[in-house]
């Protein structure tokens, strides 16, 4: 939850003057999205989300993200379409920061996904991957597998502070991941942050995905694996195989996985756990105290890493991602 930038009524009026949206009827900061400031904006033309882009999002990446949201909305995927001003610009500036208006999407995210939510979310992710085909934007995954070892090099001390002995364990993981990382899997646009709080449901059905600000090009199965980490671990740290199989089955309703993709899921999930462990470790302690946001606990992903590490090389590793009976 976050509102980093405070917008006055006068600033809002000046901002809206560029658009054909009529006068503002309601404007409220909302607790959604960790990286940016989001506002519910109601005008005579309807309801929207106004986003002011803060720290982590690089402004040079915003045309890629907004273009993708537009592309998805135009290709039958329920993504918030950016709204253009009278001169056709979706990316604007507000209080000196990049800002954009997008459609308001209804739907409610779930805190503790059940098996049916996982199935729906899996199908939604496949719809996203298919709808994004042909998107002309280009953005490599700057948090992809090649980035982990260099990022961790600067975080050894933080890892040791978190848990003595952890740095050596992570470095061994990184070496194994580098040696065994799957190549030649089908690549496309991945959401890369497909967590339960970024997926909306209505009446238990997939309704929309939001927050495309980590989207990039990578192996599609890597996106599935990262989502399994986000959707299918229980609070006690165990991996819910039933939910994972439902997620994959939902995904395969729309996009069946190739055999190589399915076989790669255990190591992709291990690597995806590494990615979130490393970025949470970097954020832990780096979040300013006035940010009105609590950094996420890196130990959650340290435990997920351990589950995947232990499963490697065992039949159990593959069994986690077997097809539903």
For 230, residues 6+ apart whose C-beta sits below 8 A from its C-beta are: 194, 195, 196
CA distance 244 to 251: 11
Per rule CB under 8 A, is residue 290 in the interface with a copy of itself? yes
Under 8 Å between Cβ of 4 and 54:
yes
Binding residue for a copy of itself (CB under 8 A) from 17, 31, 178, 260?
Answer: 31
In the bound state with a copy of itself, the residue whose beta carbon lies nearer, of 42 and 171, is: 42
Per rule CB under 8 A, is residue 242 in the interface with a copy of itself? no
Site residues for a copy of itself, 100-129, by CB under 8 A, read 104, 106-112
Helices 259-283 and 166-180 cross at an angle (nearest 10°) of: 150
Stretch that binds a copy of itself, among 99-107, 168-176, 233-241, 298-306 (CB under 8 A): 99-107
Per rule CB under 8 A, is residue 12 in the interface with a copy of itself? yes
Site residues for a copy of itself, 187-226, by CB under 8 A, read 202-203
Per rule CB under 8 A, is residue 28 in the interface with a copy of itself? yes
Binding residue for a copy of itself (CB under 8 A) from 14, 17, 26, 153?
Answer: 26
In the bound state with a copy of itself, the residue whose beta carbon lies nearer, of 104 and 195, is: 104
From residue 291, how far is each of 8, 36, 50, 145, 202 by CA, in Å?
19, 11, 19, 29, 31
In the bound state with a copy of itself, the residue whose beta carbon lies nearer, of 1 and 319, is: 1
Per rule CB under 8 A, is residue 23 in the interface with a copy of itself? yes
Cα dihedral across residues 128, 141, 84, 93: positive or negative: positive
Minimum CB separation of residue 109 from a copy of itself in Å reads 7
CA distance 233 to 270: 13
CA distance 102 to 79: 9
């Amino acid at each position: 939850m976050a509102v980093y930038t405070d917008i006055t009524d006068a600033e809002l009026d000046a901002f809206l003057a560029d658009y054909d949206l009529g006068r503002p009827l309601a404007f409220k900061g909302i607790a959604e999205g960790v990286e940016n400031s989001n506002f519910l904006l109601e005008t005579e033309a309807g309801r929207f989300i106004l986003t002011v882009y803060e720290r982590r999002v690089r402004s040079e990446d915003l045309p890629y993200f907004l273009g993708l949201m537009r592309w998805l909305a135009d290709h039958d995927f329920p993504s918030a379409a950016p709204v253009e001003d009278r001169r056709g610009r979706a990316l604007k500036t507000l209080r000196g920061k990049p800002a954009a208006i997008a459609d308001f999407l209804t739907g409610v995210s779930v805190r503790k996904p059940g098996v049916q939510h996982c199935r729906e979310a899996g199908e939604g992710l496949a719809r996203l991957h298919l709808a994004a085909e042909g998107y002309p934007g280009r953005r490599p995954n700057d948090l992809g597998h090649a980035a982990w070892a260099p990022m961790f090099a600067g975080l050894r001390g933080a890892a040791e502070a978190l848990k003595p002995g952890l740095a050596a364990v992570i470095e061994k993981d990184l070496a194994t991941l580098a040696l065994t990382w799957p190549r030649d899997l089908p690549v496309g646009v991945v959401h890369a942050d497909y967590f339960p709080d970024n997926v909306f449901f209505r009446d238990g059905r997939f309704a929309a995905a939001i927050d495309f600000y980590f989207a990039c090009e990578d192996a599609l199965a890597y996106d599935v694996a990262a989502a399994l980490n986000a959707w299918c671990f229980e609070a006690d740290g165990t991996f819910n195989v039933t939910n994972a199989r439902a997620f994959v089955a939902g995904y395969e309703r729309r996009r069946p996985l190739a055999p190589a993709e399915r076989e790669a899921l255990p190591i992709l999930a291990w690597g995806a756990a590494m990615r979130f462990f490393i970025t949470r470790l970097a954020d832990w302690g780096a979040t300013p105290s006035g940010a009105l946001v609590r950094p996420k606990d890196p130990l959650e992903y340290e435990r997920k890493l351990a589950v995947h590490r232990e499963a490697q090389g065992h039949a159990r590793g593959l069994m986690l991602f077997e097809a539903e009976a």
